[in-house]
Amino acid sequence: MKKSFIVLLLLSQLSSFCQNDRYRFAESFFGFESEFVSEKNSFSYYDSQNQIQRGRIASSITPRILIGGTHFWGHADFYISIPLSTIKINGNKNLSSTNGVFTGFRVLPWKLKDKGFRPYFGAGFNSKKIELNNGPTYTNWQWYYEWGLNFRHKNRIVGLEMRYFSKNLYNAAIARTEKESLSVSPYSFSISYKQVIDFTAGYSTERSKKHMKAVYEKAKEEKALSAFSFGLGLTALIPLKNTELASQKPFFNDEIEGSVNIDLGIAYYINPIDASIRFSYRPLKQEETAFDYTYKLNKQSFALDAFKFIGDYHGFAPFIGPYVSFDRYHLTEIDDVVTIQDQTFNRIGYGLVFGWDIRQTKVDYITLRTNLRYTPEYNYTAGGYRFTAEQLEFNFIQLVYYPERHKIYKQNK
């Protein structure tokens, strides 16, 4: 949480020194990355005859999809890198070691420009996982650090990357009553290709400025600067603390990772105060199975968000505010085909929502939004143990559509 706010603060300070055209502030990109991890350590496991064996952790290649954008006129880079699959190229197949979705921010001391090599450094957030066959999945959520070199030619960027992960040690269960300490490589290396698309390059022309002014005046006349919107994106649930109920099983990973789920929103933007009220829906799921024990928690969350934008820094508009929600939980525990509990609970939730919009004008009918949602520990219990835990939801890119503004755009072509 603190580091997220520090990043936002640094971005705000950086933009205050920039006096460039706001329409050249950011460019979007889409591309691919190939990540290589070299492993040298070994681990223990039980074979099909229940005999303990030793094996080498497999090295791997992971193809990834890249989505993001350059910001601050080529001096910064926000991105997510989504793994498609992990290909083991040697070693034993009874253990998987993978990196999850990379969510990162890079700083380029020298502006990225055409036909130029530019070094960068940065940091990001990631889940580094290991999983033994029939065992639990252990996840080290952590900040990582990275360095690399970019080369740009016209609208194409080729990059070389190295990342460092400080949390690479695990106390992993290899059976219900037996654990082993093991470590994986703290480094990964990548090569990437990105195609740059600037959706707002034409906004800086005189013709476009006149058109946007006409659209703004029409929206003002029709009182459409305040407007309804619809949002669609994906959100990932990140546990920040242990789940007490899951912690009762010594062989079980007590930080139950959440899956990636849809994030829907219907909002009303209030132009005079630069704020929004939003109804949002997220079906969240946490599930894990190890040694024939299954823990599953489904949550249907209906939230009312109220957030205020705290400035517009050349198109970068951060926001923050509270939320309250109605949450319906469905908790299931199964141990060796025996159902321990299968219960449904209705509860009230609350927390903090924050993030930022990328908006080029006051009348954009499509904007890109990043949402983060902090949920504290509610202390809700089942069977005498807490099944809730402090957590963070992260929605990197949500598409926000304003139908009333779109109508005005079409009327003023």
**Would you give per-residue pLDDT tens digits along the chain (413 residues)?**
434 433 433 343 344 334 455 555 567 888 999 999 999 999 999 888 889 999 999 999 999 999 887 766 667 888 889 999 999 988 898 898 999 989 898 998 888 788 889 999 999 989 899 988 888 888 888 899 999 999 998 889 999 999 999 999 998 989 888 989 999 999 999 999 999 876 565 566 677 778 778 888 888 888 888 999 999 998 888 888 888 888 888 888 777 878 888 999 999 999 999 999 999 999 999 888 888 899 999 999 999 999 999 988 777 899 999 999 999 999 999 998 899 999 999 999 999 999 999 887 888 888 889 899 999 999 888 878 888 889 999 887 899 999 999 988 888 77
Residues 264 and 391 in one domain: yes
Q: The tokens 């025996």 sit on which residue?
A: 338
Specify the CATH number for the domain of residue 135.
Answer: 2.40.160.20
**Quick check: is 21 in a domain?**
no
Helix (H, G, I), strand (E, B) or coil at 129: strand
Tell me the residue type at 348.
Answer: I
Residues 156 and 228 in one domain: no
CA distance 96 to 185: 13
Residue 219 to residues 45, 205, 272, 360: CA-CA distances in angstroms?
A: 66, 21, 14, 16
Residues 58 and 160 in one domain: yes
**Quick check: is 171 in a domain?**
yes
How many domains in the chain?
A: 2
Residues 328 and 349 in one domain: yes
Q: For residue 201, what pLDDT is reported?
A: 57
**Domain coverage including residue 212:** 206-411
pTM of the complete model: 0.79
Residues 316 and 386 in one domain: yes
**Quick check: is 259 in a domain?**
yes
Residues 309 and 286 in one domain: yes
**Quick check: is 285 in a domain?**
yes
Q: For residue 202, what pLDDT is reported?
A: 56
Residues 400 and 331 in one domain: yes
Under DSSP, the state recorded for 198 is -
Residues 187 and 213 in one domain: no
Q: Is residue 196 classed exposed, middle or buried when 0-12, 13-18 and 19+ CB atoms within 10 A define those classes?
A: middle
CA 233 to chain centre: 11
Residues 218 and 111 in one domain: no
Helix (H, G, I), strand (E, B) or coil at 215: helix
